[in-house]
């Protein structure tokens, strides 16, 4: 898949189960994803949707769960009509989140492959 891969890491001072719940529980996701409502089952092959409002524009992103290892990793495809790209497999972003235990803390590593984006330098509040 062409495009770019963006990766971000953060160390969280919380137990793995709490971080995992924050990643997969719709009520928790809504708190840190700007009110996004996520719907679907966390099983490989299951469809998922993310609905919300971004800068005054309603959206409904869709995708499919690609990987699910409770407490360790989740991956999913994601298509957003707001990207302006056509709804075809080449336009879907693949997002992977992995948790790695570091003593009593958790390192959260998230990467996203975006086929329709070109490389650009992100700084400050532009970075995810």
pTM above 0.75, yes or no: yes
Question: What is the C-alpha to C-alpha distance for residues 59 and 109, in angstroms, rounded to an integer?
Answer: 26
* CA distance readout (Å), 35 to 16, 26, 50, 113, 126: 23, 10, 10, 23, 19
State which of 37-41, 52-56, 93-97, 98-102 shows the largest mean pLDDT: 37-41
> Looking at the domain 4-118, which fold is it?
Alpha-D-Glucose-1,6-Bisphosphate; Chain A, domain 4 (3.30.530)
What are the domain boundaries of the chain? Answer: 4-118
Give the contacts of 28 (CB within 8 A, at least 6 positions apart).
21, 22
Query: Taking 80 as the threshold, does the pLDDT of residue 12 lie above it?
Result: yes
- Per DSSP, the residues of 61-99 read EEEEEEEEETTTEEEEEEB-GGG---SSGGG-EEEEEEE
Q: What is the pLDDT of residues 95-106, one digit of tens each?
A: 999 999 888 788
């Amino acid at each position: 898949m062409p495009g770019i891969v963006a990766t971000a890491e953060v160390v969280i001072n919380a137990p793995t189960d709490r971080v995992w719940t924050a990643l997969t529980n719709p009520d928790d996701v809504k708190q840190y994803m700007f009110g996004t409502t996520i719907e679907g089952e966390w099983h490989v092959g299951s469809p998922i949707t993310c609905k919300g409002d971004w800068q005054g524009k309603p959206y409904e992103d869709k995708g499919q769960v690609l990987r699910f290892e409770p407490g360790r990793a989740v991956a999913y495809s994601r298509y957003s009509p707001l990207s302006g790209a056509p709804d075809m497999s080449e336009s879907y972003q693949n997002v992977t989140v992995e948790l790695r235990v570091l003593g009593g803390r958790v390192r959260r590593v998230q990467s996203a492959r975006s086929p329709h984006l070109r490389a650009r330098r992100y700084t400050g509040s532009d970075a995810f």
